[in-house]
Each structure stands twice: as C-alpha cells, then as structure tokens.
Amino acid sequence: MMSETEQNQVRVTKKKRDQNLAILIDGAKSGDRACMEELVILHHKDIFRMVYYRTGSQMDAEDLTQEIFIKMSKKLRQLTDSDRFRGWLHLIALNQIKDFHRKKRLLFFFSNPNDFEKNELTPKNDNPEKQVLKKQFWHHFFELTKKMPRMEREVFTLRYLDQLSIREIAKTLKRNESTVKTHLYRALKKFRKSSDLRALLKGNEL
C-alpha cells in the first residue's frame, strides 16, 4: 500500500499529465499540427496494443490504428471535455474494431491466441523460461475470455489489457458505471476461478 506522500505524488503527476493533455487537445483543435502529432505519439502504443489484441494481425492492427487516428483528428473538435479524451479515443477504436470484425464476418471478438504469442506478448529480451510462461498465460487468458459473454469480455479487457478506468470504460461502452462494475465483478470471479491462470501468476511476474 502506498504511503500518503506517495499517493500525493501520484495525484500531482496525474494532474500535470491531465493539464498537458488539455493543452495539446486545445492546440490540436486550433489546427496546431505539432500538438496533433504529439497526441498521436502519446497514445499510439496503447491504441495499437488494443487493436492488436483484438485482431491477432500486425498488418491489420497497423492499418486500423492509422484509421483510428485519422478519425480522431477529424472528430476532435466535437470533444467538449478533455478529461474524457481517453475514453472517447478508445470508443473510436472499439467502433473501428467492430466494423473490421463485421466486415470479416468473424464470430469471436478475439482471434487465435497463438497469433499473439509470436510478437509483442513475448519480448525478445525475456529468457526462454519466462517466454514459455507468458505463452501459457496468454493462451489460457484468451481461452477464458472467449467463453465470457460479450459485455463481460469487453469490460474485462478494457480494464486489464487496455488499463482504462471504470469511468473511461463507461464512456467507451456507453454504459453507466454501476453496469460496468457489475460486468467486471462477474468477469473477475471467472478469472479468479481459473486454476491454470492462478498457477501461472503465483510467484511469476508476467
């Protein structure tokens, strides 16, 4: 548990980050290309990861990520509250992903988990034993999430893969926060009941 001093430092850091983000958003809305490029740079990694987890294809993820930021730049002036930017951007991304899946006529929100094991989920600087553990973890993780109802799966992945807050998830999925918490609670119960995942997490930093 963090000390009061550490908690204050976290709050100060977050406040500064939010203030800087608001400045970039205002600049981008005014046509400042440097501000727009900085917004893309700051969020590119998170959005690419979000898309990649849900497509299993690096090529598709690169194309979709580019489309998402193009759409972001066109719609940015519609955003009235900079505090909602992250959830708003993830909503754009989620809609693009859904359109992609509809066009491909895919039945599942995730593709074959084996595809994910080949790239970002197993960094080359990991030792062989750690790579094996990561492959096993992600295999079981995606097998579990594919069995969840759609809303549970989306809430769970947005919270723990994309690291959105409850408020941001509610904005992204256009649901109230209590509904999000209910789905997250149900998903967490299933996650905790998975003996395979618990065994991989216990004593191993994945």
Quick one: pLDDT at residue 195?
Answer: 64
Do 17 and 71 have their domain in common?
Answer: yes
Q: CA-CA distance, 176 to 173, in Å (whole number)?
A: 9
pLDDT at 118 over 80: no
Among candidates 118, 97, 74, which has minimal Cα distance to 162?
97
Q: CA-CA distance, 92 to 95, in Å (whole number)?
A: 5
Do 81 and 32 have their domain in common?
Answer: yes
Note the pLDDT tens digit of each residue in 150-179.
899 889 888 877 878 898 899 888 899 999
The overall average pLDDT reported for the chain is 77
Do 88 and 166 have their domain in common?
Answer: no
Quick one: pLDDT at residue 141?
Answer: 73
Among candidates 149, 135, 154, which has minimal Cα distance to 196?
135
Quick one: pLDDT at residue 107?
Answer: 40
Note whether residue 167 is domain-resident: yes
Note the pLDDT tens digit of each residue in 25-34.
999 999 999 9
